Amino acid sequence: MQPIHHSVKCTLMDLVLKQGEGCRTLPLAGHVGFDSLPDQLVNKSVSQGFCFNIMCVGETGLGKSTLMDTLFNTKFEGEPATHTQPGVQLRSNTYDLQESHVGLKLTIVSTVGFGDQINKEDSYKPIVEFLDAQFEAYLQEELKIRRVLHTYHDSRIHVCLYFIAPTGHSLKSLDLMTMKKLDSKVNIIPIIAKSDAISKSELTKFKIKITSELVSNGVQIYQFPTDDESVAEINGTMNAHLPFAVVGSTEELKIGNKMMRARQYPWGTVQVENEAHCDFVKLREMLLRVNMEDLREQTHSRHYELYRRCKLEEMGFKDTDPDSKPFSLQETYEAKRNEFLGELQKKEEEMRQMFVQRVKEKEAELKEAEKELHEKFDRLKKLHQDEKKKLEDKKKSLDDEVNAFKQRKSAAELLQSQGSQAGGSQTLKRDKEKKKTREEKSISDRTYTTAGKTPMVPWALKLFVQCD
Ligand code: GTP
Ligand code: MG
């Protein structure tokens, strides 16, 4: 029994089998049940919830945040950026939304500081890096032994809304370059922002100009799919309306007896959801209602697949070997491992050689320094010896001088002591005589000149002289 061919349609009661050339129709006896398979899938998907990731790329103040608020009819947080950013950054926020029992994990990534630098050459790089980083994270999850892809938060960007300034002229080179760099990584939907700033006739010309510039520069923007009959017509029409000219507003005004999102000006009101005023409704329909699943699908099967293929090829994986035989994973792994080990050995050898060379150089440097030190030491030693010799000579001459001086001194002292001995005995004799004369004179004065007093006896005087 052959499996059921996809192109064969089954009714509830008939089972059509394709066998070789002919077809057999088997009437079913009763209800089998596999017609509920789509319902099972729907129920499973609804219970798991969906995720959708939008990236808004555009110059500062072009209305990115306002459009997101308008699209989802809510107020997402987010501070307006300044025009003084040194480079482009990406700000990502994730929200859990719910609409009639269907949960949506919505991630909005916005550029910050895009187009504010004097040199805008590298402005696209952070965006490309961000997109690649999300693909890489998913690939890593896929390559894990224990992967949990059903609970994994898929952060790959499903659509990039590229905001074009309403200049009415042509695309800026920054816009063309950025879209060109992004078109192989994400589904780009170009939109003319703040389209209320441009007149109707100018807008028509502007749209034509943008489309022709995109085509002539080979920029691949996202085309709404026309292969599904149910949406082919609407998608075909909408493709002709690209790029959508949108107006965003967080203000609600009473128009007629209805509250509507609009922008009020002194000369009138622009209604965001009025298709005669702008393409906001077209964008919302295409993005959220009709093609959300296709955007998710394209991201996975086209952009991610391309990234994955390039990455795996870069890692050395191939589908077939040069003889067109299937490439085994084991062989690829072994080949890559050997290549890696070979490179590692080569690197090790290079590093060893470099190390030996560096050691030799250092050794030579040290030897040179040692030689210089020895020479310096010898010079200093000689200097020291000369100095020492000079000092010894000087000491010797000083010692000689000291000895000569001592000799002269002792001779002088000898002469002086001899002289003082002779002079000293004569002086003593003279002093004694002088004293004796003075005493005798004093006694005679007291014996013969003192009136009224008893004179001393001569023997007593004699005794006094002797005792003294
Ligand atoms: P950054 O996050 O700072 O880069 O700015 P943005 O791109 O998020 O712009 P934002 O939504 O903060 O809007 C900037 C200004 O433009 C606000 O004053 C909005 O009211 C105004 N604005 C937003 N959308 C429109 C629009 O469609 N038309 C007009 N005329 N003004 C708009
Ligand atoms: Mg903003």
- Ligand minimally distant from the alpha carbon of residue 82: 1
Q: How far is the CA of 63 from the centre of ligand 1 (A)?
A: 3
Q: Whose CA is nearest to atom 28 of ligand 1?
A: 194
Ligand 1 centre distance from Cα of residue 193 (Å) = 9
Over residues 75-88, the pLDDT tens digits come to 887 777 777 778 88
Instruction: Give the torsion through C-alpha atoms of 158, 164, 165, 170, to 10 deg.
Output: 170
Looking at all shown ligands, the one closest to residue 247's CA atom is 1
How many CB atoms within 10 Å of residue 46?
13
Report the nearest-CA residue for atom 23 of ligand 1. 63
166 CA to centre of ligand 1 in angstroms: 12
66 and 58 Cβ atoms separated by less than 8 Å: no
CB atoms near residue 98 (< 10 Å)? 9
Index of the ligand 1 atom closest to the CA of residue 163:
7
pLDDT classification of 301: cutoffs 50, 70, 90: very high
Expressed in angstroms and rounded, the spacing between residue 288 Cα and the centre of ligand 1 is 21
Q: Tell me, yes or no, if the pTM score tops 0.85.
A: no
User: Using CB atoms within 10 A of its CB, is residue 346 exposed (0-12), middle (13-18) or buried (19+)?
Assistant: exposed
Domain ranges, ordered by start, for the chain: 44-315, 334-398
Distance CA 94, CA 157 (A): 12
Q: What is the pLDDT of residues 21-72, one digit of tens each?
A: 567 777 777 788 888 888 898 888 888 888 999 999 999 889 999 999 998 8
Proximal ligand: closest to the CA of 58: 1
Phi/psi-derived region of residue 168, left when phi > 0, alpha when psi is between -120 and 50, beta in every other case: left
Question: Which residue bears the tokens 């009138």?
Answer: 268
Expressed in angstroms and rounded, the spacing between residue 207 Cα and the centre of ligand 2 is: 24
Residue 137 has pLDDT above 80, yes or no: yes
pLDDT confidence bin for 360, thresholds 50/70/90: very high
Residues bordering ligand 2, an ion, CB closer than 5 Å: 64-65
Closest residue by CA, ligand 1 atom 22? 63
Residue entry with tokens 């790959």:
156
Ligand 1 centroid to 95 CA: how many Å? 21
CATH architecture group of domain 44-315: 3-Layer(aba) Sandwich (3.40)
Ligand 1: which residues within 6 Å by Cβ?
A: 58, 60-66, 80-81, 110, 194, 196-197, 247-248, 263
Nearest CA to ligand 1 atom 13: 63
